[in-house]
Chains A and B, each alone.
Chain A
């Protein structure tokens, strides 16, 4: 995969935490490497604190990486991302209520993006493009929606608007940070279908960040499972869902609420652990304290990602041995 849209190599982002004396370093994202191909939806799956949002924010240029390189559309990104790159790789945020200016009409913010990122369009061109964009994400009739204020839209409609806004700058990759988690279950599916539509019709890649395995399975081509800032498993969606290898992926699978599973299904997992705060971490697998398969080796050194097939990689000593 040489023509990847996005190539992330050993990306780390640390935060300094604590007071003057007790300063520590929080390893939010630690040496994460992955690629996104054109027209591909990749899901980053993990609990809160797994570093999935940090990755999106670093990619969006909201803060610089501590180390590692990001190659976007063949160009290595510097400390600060340019406006052009931000337009080609926009972000859709989690909270549809906090991410849209409430005092401006819907059309206003779309027009602004179009002015910034599509200077070739004149006023009439922008008008037509804005209508096309909102209709593209299922907000009908477009011209009327543009005249509304954000408070006149429901949560699902606002989030669709978020995608319309991301589309305005003709992106090659959209960073979607938990775009459906604050929406009602009955509305989520419509938005997931919008994401699939963008991939299939506009050939846009998406990095879909979520903690929900079922929705990741529904939209994503590939899945990357994160735990405490590191990738623990990666593969095509069906590979990961059908044959979860890493004990953490298995835990996620077992805890996913799903009425279609038989009632007896949840008897074997008893887990009250939580992802660690990775402050000044030592060596060793970060999942070891919660892991039913943990061996001495797991606590001494950090397992590397090992390829199990052309597409599947797992970081686990126990899996390696078996």
Chain B
């Protein structure tokens, strides 16, 4: 494997709450290769967005990164000053937020917002900025005339594509996307995903993509990480995880949504709710909802164990060796 562009090691994020610190991300580790598309899926509250924000060093109070490291191109982002981070943002890492409706400034034209980003991060002159702005809009199939448009004049899908155009301005090596498709219709969703996929092939940036709807990424991501209660419970090649989910939670998620192909069958979803993150249970965090849970599961927290490129955090898959 080539040197990873992003190495996340044992990352821990806590929210301070009235009841004490809640560990929203507890000891997450993974690597991201250059040009790789990694999807992170999980229910709301599983810590997936917090994880992204922590990687991008965008957390604000009451959330705080309390441990671990995020190495980007060999540099640990958690140790950098605000100014050093500012220099890397947009140039190396850019972020596409969930709701394009709120992330774009409603009072500025698209051109002005693109120019803003360029001026903050480069010393380009106006001609160069105009040229590059037109170029990135073209990349996402938005007509150049929309440079003069304001966000309200664009449809939801176009706004989200404009956000991606903005993220592409300085050719970053990594684009972090937080549910960019969740506000879109299925048709717009699919065309946005295809566009991201084509651009990634063309420009070679890596993508870290968070979503609660794993079906969205099923045809696009290289690897898939399933998060539950702040931990990665399964991580492997997307197709492998979909076809043969090992962890009971992943297979539960797979059975939680209806399909347009094949036999109609009754679905049940996963009963119960995620555990409290303030005082998590001592054993496997999924045990209370798991139909296969044993006494061992309720007592000991399983480790994330990797076998043949597929990591699973489950006693049933990786039996515990008595120490």
**With A257-B215, A274-B157 given, is the CB distance from A188 to B257 under 8 Å?**
yes
Cβ-defined contact, A272 with B267, below 8 A: no
**Chain B interface mostly:** loop
Chain B neighbourhood of A212, CB < 8 A: 186
Q: Known interface pairs A184-B43, A214-B260. Does A257 touch B273 (Cβ–Cβ under 8 Å)?
A: no
Bound complex: CA of A81 vs CA of B258, how far in Å? 36
A161 within 8 A of B: no
Question: A292 at the A/B interface (Cβ < 8 Å)?
Answer: no
Chain A interface, DSSP helix/strand/loop, else mixed? helix
Q: Which of B44, B188, B256, B268 touches A274 (beta carbons < 8 Å)?
A: B188
Q: Is B187 a contact partner of A251 (Cβ separation < 8 A)? A: yes
- Tell me the chain A residues, 236-272 only, with Cβ under 8 Å from chain B: 241, 251-261, 263, 265-266, 269-272
Report A-chain residues with C-beta under 8 Å of the C-beta of B141: 272
Kindly provide the distance from the CB of A22 to the nearest chain B CB, expressed in whole angstroms: 14
B29 within 8 A of A: no
Query: Do the beta carbons of A252 and B261 come within 8 Å of each other?
Result: no
**Smallest Cβ-Cβ distance to B218: which chain A residue:** A259
Contact yes or no, B215 A186, CB < 8 A: no
A150 to chain B, nearest CB (A): 17
Task: Confirm or deny: A279 has a beta carbon within 8 angstroms of a beta carbon on chain B.
Answer: no
Q: Which of A141-167 contact B (CB under 8 A)?
A: 154-155
Whether A70 sits at the interface, judged by CB under 8 Å, is: no
* CB–CB A255/B186 < 8 A: yes
A48 is an interface residue with CB less than 8 A from chain B: yes
Q: Which residues of A contact B190 (CB under 8 A)?
A: 254-255, 257, 266, 269, 271
A contact residues around B258 at 8 Å (CB): 189, 192, 214-215, 217-218
B273 in complex: contacting residue of A154, A192, A255, A274, CB < 8 Å:
A154
Q: A257-B216, A259-B214, A263-B219 are in contact. List 6 more A-B contacts (CB 8 A).
A: A48-B185, A185-B257, A188-B257, A217-B260, A217-B264, A258-B215
Interface of B toward A, CB cutoff 8 Å: 43-44, 141, 155-158, 185-191, 194, 212-216, 218-219, 239, 242, 252-254, 256-262, 264, 266-270, 273
User: Interface of A with B (CB < 8 Å)?
Assistant: 47-48, 154-155, 184-190, 192-193, 211-215, 217-218, 241, 251-261, 263, 265-266, 269-272, 274
